[in-house]
Structure formats: structure tokens, C-alpha cells
Chain A
């Protein structure tokens, strides 16, 4: 089954404790992206990757890191989480980077709470 998976699905952590949210897709997609979703602010892009070893900042990259060492995986790293990073996070992938038809497949989401 074609899918994007994220782990963990739920996470409660404390300020400053480094964490990683994993994202994996089995569709051989080149393009992967991370979003956060907050009430009233909608989906905002954190980072994206056009292919292996090619990443770039989205709209809200502060406090996050990413890496793309393999085509299928795109982990999101919070080196020192803070309460303002409490949010619902989505990973997404698509076959190529943005074209006229740009269908992104979203993972199930990770709800992160930082206390």
C-alpha cells in the first residue's frame, strides 16, 4: 500500500529535550515536505526536500532541522524544543517538485506537546 508514515503519532516532551519525528514514504517520491498546523494559522511549511541531500527552508524553519540521506526518509529534528513548537505536524511527499499537477500525499500527523 502506497503511504507516508510518521512516528511517533503522539509525543509529550519537555523543553530542551532533543527529539526526532520520522517520516517515510514507499512511493519513490522525490519531493518531501514538513508542515505544522496550528488553529487559525493553517498549514505552514517548515522545510522541504527536492531530492536526496537537497533541502531548503519553508516559511517557518526556525528551531527545526531536517536531513535527506535516503530518498524514502525525511526526519524532522527539534534540537531544543520549546512550548511554541507544540503543534500538529504533517509530513508529505509527491512524485516530483511542484508542477502544474502537484499532488501531495500526507502522512497521518504527529501531535507534539512541549511542556
Chain B
């Protein structure tokens, strides 16, 4: 069973700080990587995707991918209390199966 692993948290950061969320994956051939945000009781919503090594920035969010080390991270700059949510990492594995594998998520708490 291929795995996507995340620290469950909670990760607590003060307002205005940088939150760093990490995800490791086991399938070295994985192709695409996604970060979803899920508020309590709500459905996941896509924040970013990345498929090339390096950084990808979108507003306050930066996704970082290192395929050699098999990890992907999400940085949230200038964290706001509204960023408090669970962040799910999802990986498209290099198999014939058309599916994503999700991590269990990291809960982020941003305190005012």
C-alpha cells in the first residue's frame, strides 16, 4: 500500500507567522502533488498543485517539491486565524490506477 504521511498536529502558530506543513510519500514515481484545505465539517478545497521540483508560489501560499527526498511542503506566509483548518496532502501515484492518495491531514491553528 502506497502511503502519504503527514503529521496530524495540531501545528500552532501566531498570527502573522509562517506556517510550514510537510508531507512525505512512498511512491518514488509519483507525478503530481496537491494541497487541499478542509475546514471542520466542510468539504476539501484545492489550494495548490505542483508537479515540478522546486517552489511554486500563489499569493501567501508556496508549495515546495523535492522528488529526490520524496517530500512536498506547503508554506503559508502571514498566517491568519482564517487559515485555521486541516490541510490535506494528496499524491497522484505513478500507477495505472486513476486516483489520488490522500494523507490524513495536518491541523493548523493560527492564534490572534
Given contacts A100-B32, A101-B32, A102-B49, contact A43 B98 (CB under 8 A): no
Q: Which stretch in B9-17, B61-69, B101-109 binds the other chain?
A: B101-109
List A8-59 residues whose CB lies under 8 Å from chain B. 31, 33, 35, 40-45, 48, 50, 56, 58-59
- Chief secondary structure at chain B's binding surface: loop
How many residues from B make CB contacts under 8 Å with A? 23
Residues of A within 8 A of B104 (CB): 40-42
Selected contact of B100 from candidates A40, A90, A98, A109, CB within 8 Å: A98
B44 within 8 A of A: yes
Please measure, in the bound complex, the distance between the C-alpha atom of A106 and the C-alpha atom of B34, giving whole angstroms: 14
10 contacts between A and B (CB under 8 A): A40-B104, A41-B104, A42-B104, A48-B99, A97-B98, A98-B99, A102-B32, A103-B49, A106-B43, A108-B43
Q: Which residues of B contact A (CB under 8 A)?
A: 8, 31-32, 34, 41-46, 49, 51, 88, 90, 92, 97-100, 102-105
Binding site for B on A (CB under 8 A): 31, 33, 35, 40-45, 48, 50, 56, 58-59, 90, 97-104, 106-109
